[in-house]
């Protein structure tokens, strides 16, 4: 595919939209002017929207997000065929199955963009702190681009996920949880490795990252032939929900779509920094986090992006219990879609909300069931003298 040139022009502060910075270097520690010792504001990417090709949204939503390159930062890293995931309909609810990406989660859309930034910056490597999906995805894209990768992993990851994160040849260091972010900063400072995860007091992450998630909105619009009424996304730091929201907002701004959806952040009830920040009116907060098996989205540190997506879209910040996620996980599995527990948070929150919408509802399902806690933990007993009656006996 011959990608068209990027129209990215600047980094713009989410703390004060009148503040903008050159596109390079990526401001990976948040907005230097509006951030304070207790709250950091992310940056996002601004484009020359007047020059967006008129036929951009007429194309088929196939894999390789380079097809949307005018509205992405420059893609200097090669593709693994991210995106182009199916939108499935189950009794009127649409499920965007992101387990169909190269490393079987939505994170691949982000890492195509952030590893591209590392390549463009001439960095000697990539570093990421992650409990699973993000680390494996960054390792895969770094490997594809020929860059060394360091993954700072947590010891609590499920065993199958530990194998997964190590599969792509990265240097994986399993370190105590409280050492991960300081060590990441050290590796950035001492080795010049490009960071593709967070370094700030509240979450800002990579300024380019959510741009990759915008492509979910472009695909959903193409697949539905219209804008949905509501989108429910599993939410950790809020990069996914912000990207999806921004994609729909762009479609509206460009006159391609007639409106925008309400977007809903769906966080484990044991944490929920986005819901807390919206409830208290703060830009971003840190909360105590209890226990949840949805480890991929359980956060104590929140960020401003989720707050903005909910507020700007007229959505809502929802909290979901582990039981509700388990029920949604089972509902999806009994329709043939096996998600990790976190991946079912969107559907769980939609079911718990119990609200009718005047238009299609899309639940983003983020990741394969293979990444769940407990996978591989149980060996089946052998039935020694089976007959056909065993096939219909109660379980």
Residue 199 token pair: 């370094």
Footprint of a second copy on 45-64 (CB under 8 A) = 60-64
Host H or E run for residue 305:
helix 304-313
Among 2, 18, 280, 387, binds a second copy (CB under 8 A): 387
Q: Is 160 in the site for a second copy (CB under 8 A)?
A: yes
- Binding flag, residue 369, a second copy (CB under 8 A): yes
Where would I find the H helices in 287-359?
304-313, 322-333, 345-353
Distance CA 169, CA 122 (A): 20
Binding residues for a second copy, rule CB under 8 A, total 81
Contact 371, 164 (CB under 8 A): yes
The structure tokens listed for 165 are 């994160």
Q: What is the Cα 377 distance to its own chain's centre? A: 27
Does the protein bind a second copy through residue 384 (CB under 8 A)?
A: yes
Residue 140 or 230 having the CB closest to a second copy: 140
CB nearer a second copy, residue 287 or residue 293: 293
Residue 380 within binding range of a second copy, rule CB under 8 A: yes
Residue 336, Cβ neighbours under 10 Å: how many? 9
Rg from Cα positions in the chain: 20
Instruction: Rule CB under 8 A: choose which of 22, 176, 225, 288 binds a second copy.
Output: 176
- Give whichever of 280 and 378 is closer to a second copy, judged by the CB atom: 378
**Distance of closest approach, residue 137 Cβ to a second copy, in angstroms:** 9
392 binding a second copy? (CB under 8 A): yes
Which of 20, 34, 174, 321 lies at the binding interface for a second copy (CB under 8 A)? 174
Q: What is the DSSP code (8-state) at residue 301?
A: B
Our finding on whether 175 is near a second copy (CB under 8 A) is yes
- CA-CA distance, 280 to 299, in Å (whole number)? 18
Classified as helix, coil or strand, 5 is coil
Q: Is 144 in the site for a second copy (CB under 8 A)?
A: yes
The dihedral over CA atoms of 154, 160, 162, 165, expressed in degrees to the nearest 10, equals -120
390 binds a second copy (CB under 8 A): yes
Please tell me the distance from the alpha carbon of residue 134 to that of residue 30, in angstroms, as a whole number. 19
Long-range contact pairs involving 285-291 (C-beta distance under 8 Å, separation at least 24): 285/202, 286/202
Residue number with CB closer to a second copy (32 or 86): 86
Q: Using DSSP, state whether 392 is helix, strand or coil.
A: helix
Q: What are phi and psi of 330, to 5 degrees?
A: -70, -40
List 57, 164, 237, 248, residue binding a second copy (CB under 8 A): 164
Q: Which of 23, 65, 80, 362 binds a second copy (CB under 8 A)?
A: 80
Interacting residue with a second copy among 178, 190, 356, 358 (CB under 8 A): 190
- Choose which of 337, 341, 349, 363 interacts with a second copy (CB under 8 A): 337
Q: Which is nearer to a second copy, 102 or 306 (CB)?
A: 102
HSE-up of 10 (CA within 13 Å, CB side)? 12
Q: Is 382 in the site for a second copy (CB under 8 A)?
A: yes
Output the CA–CA distances (angstroms, integers) from residue 200 to 183, 303, 310, in the order listed.
Answer: 13, 10, 22
Contact between 159 and a second copy by CB under 8 A: the answer reads: yes
Measured from the CB of residue 372, what is the shortest distance to a second copy in angstroms?
A: 8
The reply on whether position 20 binds a second copy by CB under 8 A is: no
Contact set for a second copy, span 84-143 (CB under 8 A):
84-88, 97, 99-104, 127, 140-141, 143
């Amino acid at each position: 595919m011959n990608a068209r040139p990027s129209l990215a022009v600047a980094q713009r502060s989410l703390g004060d939209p009148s503040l903008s910075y050159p596109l390079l270097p990526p401001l990976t520690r948040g907005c230097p002017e509006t951030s304070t010792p207790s709250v950091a504001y992310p940056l996002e990417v601004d484009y020359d929207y007047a020059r967006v090709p008129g036929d951009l949204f007429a194309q088929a939503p196939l894999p390789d997000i380079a097809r949307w390159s005018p509205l992405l930062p420059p893609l200097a890293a090669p593709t693994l065929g991210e995106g182009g995931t199916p939108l499935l309909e189950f009794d009127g609810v649409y499920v965007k199955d992101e387990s169909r990406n190269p490393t079987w989660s939505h994170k691949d859309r982000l890492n195509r963009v952030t590893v591209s930034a590392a390549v463009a910056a001439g960095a000697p490597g990539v570093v990421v702190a992650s409990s699973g999906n993000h680390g494996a995805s960054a390792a895969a894209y770094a490997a594809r681009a020929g860059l060394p990768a360091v993954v700072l992993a947590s010891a609590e990851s499920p065993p199958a996920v530990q194998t997964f994160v190590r599969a792509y040849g990265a240097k994986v260091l399993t370190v105590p949880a409280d050492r991960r972010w300081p060590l990441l900063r050290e590796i950035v400072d001492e080795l010049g490795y490009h960071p593709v995860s967070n370094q700030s007091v509240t979450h800002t992450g990579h300024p380019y990252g959510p741009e990759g998630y915008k492509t979910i909105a472009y695909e959903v619009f193409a697949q539905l032939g219209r804008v949905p009424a509501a989108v429910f996304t599993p939410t950790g730091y809020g990069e996914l929900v912000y990207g999806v929201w921004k994609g729909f907002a762009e479609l509206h701004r460009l006159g391609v779509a007639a409106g925008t959806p309400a977007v809903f952040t769906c966080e484990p009830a044991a944490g929920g920094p986005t819901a807390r920040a919206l409830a208290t009116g703060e830009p971003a907060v840190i909360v105590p986090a209890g226990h949840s098996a949805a480890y991929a989205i359980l956060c104590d540190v929140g960020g401003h992006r989720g707050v903005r997506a909910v507020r700007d879209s007229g959505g809502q910040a929802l909290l979901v219990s582990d039981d509700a996620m388990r029920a949604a996980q089972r509902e999806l599995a009994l329709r043939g879609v096996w998600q990790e527990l976190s991946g079912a948070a969107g559907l769980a929150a939609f079911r718990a909300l119990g609200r009718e919408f005047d238009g299609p509802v899309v639940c983003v399902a983020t990741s394969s069931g293979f990444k769940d806690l407990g996978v591989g933990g149980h060996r089946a007993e052998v039935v020694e003298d089976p007959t056909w009656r065993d096939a219909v006996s109660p379980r």
